[in-house]
Structure 1
Amino acid sequence: FLQVYQLSASDADYAADAESIARRSLKNLALSYLVRTEKDEAIALAQSQFAAASNMTDQAAGLRCLVNSAAETAAAFKRDALKSFYEQWSHESLVVDQWFVIQAVCQLPGSLDQVKLLLKHDNFDIRNPNKVRSLIGAFCGQNHIGFHDASGEGYEFLADQVLVLDKLNPQIASRLLTPLTRWRKYDAKRQALMQAQLQRIKAQAELSKD
């Protein structure tokens, strides 16, 4: 994977043609596999790419790799990179959305706790549909490990947010509920936990028609 990464890297100016996009995609895929080894040199490579990136695609890819690494050496890099990325792009709403997504879909233990913390972030507004999709929607719809934890805490979290949103934006609340409606796809324990949250939502007084 290191060879693939090195061969796909380029010092050329950013370009949006098909070949350049494919090269970046392959390079960042190779980087993600390298970081999974948790070797110090792989973590350093991700940190280096993040710090030296000339485009947001590579910068975000480096950040994503660091955030998803359980390596001890990644911890400090991760905190600094998240802070740096946010400070650099805090004026760009769509990029901040991506910052939320990267953290929401993190496959490491504790991702739900991080999502709950981010609900209190100054740049998160539960009345903003894009922010809701980027944090709550991304966790519940894309973070299958975190959302489907055997404890059922992910299901309870989603039900809590749906009940809040039902009073603010019923259409968003309805769409956000989708992962729970797929309960038939899972094992008996998870089915029961998901159904329990659906019943809790249904039992609420003054629930919207959506």
Structure 2
Amino acid sequence: ALRAELEAAYAANALPAQPFRADREAIGMRRLKNACLGYLAAIEDGAAAALCLRQAGEEGACMTDVMAATSALAACDGPAAAAAREEALGLYYSRHAKGNDLLVCKWFTMQAVADTADCLERTDALRAHPDFSLRNPNKARALIGAFAANPCRFHAADGAGYRWLADRILEVDAINPQSAARLASAFSTFRRYDSGRQALIR
């Protein structure tokens, strides 16, 4: 119902990629524009996905805009956005993240926190990515820890998220017990959940 208003606000706050501005007004405009983009992406149709992909792939775009658009697409679960999601994630990795551990970690995280039906499978598959290593605490936290912070997919009613995290904790514990303990803290609040989930965690 608010699509037209969101599109208008997005357009009104779009700044040219260059020259980059970091003043208060420009920061506020980017924040508002990207908030609108996130809401538009949630529509999960072809037009919204194309808008996100255009921003994600814009040459010379600032990392704030690239991250906002790529994260918005990473969270899209609909078939109309599927191709754009894969293209945006691929662009982000090849253009920005490859060879940069900090941006690789962000790339892992945006996929692990996405509320998508294939989130657990995608997160598990990323363990085989050449840039992932359990021996790197930052990367383990960026992927495994991020999934544990995904409220919908980690707490799936079938307990698959809990089993997956428990297996990863055992693997990390053999390498870095301190990191494993931090990951295990995801289970420390189990008493807040319904009885079915408490039973699965136990």
Q: Which amino acid aligns with 2:201?
A: M
Q: Is 1:175 equivalent to 2:202 in the alignment?
A: no
1:10 corresponds to which residue? 15
Q: How many residues align?
A: 194
In structure 2, give the amino acid aligned to 1:157: W
Give the 3-state SS of the residue equivalent to 1:57 in structure 2.
helix
Percent of pairs with identical residues: 39
**TM-score for both structures, normalised by structure 2:** 0.91
The one-letter amino acid paired with 1:10 is: L
**Whole-Å Cα distance in 1 between the matches of residues 54 and 194 of structure 2?**
42
Partner of 2:115: 107
Residue of structure 1 aligned with 2:106, choices 72, 75, 98: 98
Q: TM-score, normalised by structure 1?
A: 0.88
C-alpha contact (below 8 Å) 2:56/2:92 kept by paired residues? no
Distance 2:76 2:176 in 1: 35
1:135 aligns with 2:140: no
2:30 maps to amino acid: R
Q: Contact conserved, 2:57 with 2:91, CA < 8 A, in 1?
A: no
Q: Aligned equivalents of 2:161 and 2:75: distance in 1?
A: 19
- Alignment match, 1:30: 36
- CA separation in 1, counterparts of 2:193 and 2:116? 21
Give structure 2 stretches of 5+ with no counterpart: 1-5
Matched to 2:160, the amino acid is E
- Report the more deviating stretch, 2-11 or 185-194: 2-11
Deviations 1:68-110 (A, max 9, x none): 1123231112212212211112011101111001100110112
CA RMSD of aligned residues (A): 1.3
What is the SS of the residue equivalent to 1:33? helix
Read off the aligned partner of 1:43 and give its amino acid letter. A
Moved more, 35-44 or 58-67: 35-44
Specify the SS of the correspondent of 2:47.
helix
The runs of at least 4 aligned residues of structure 1 exceeding 6 Å deviation read none
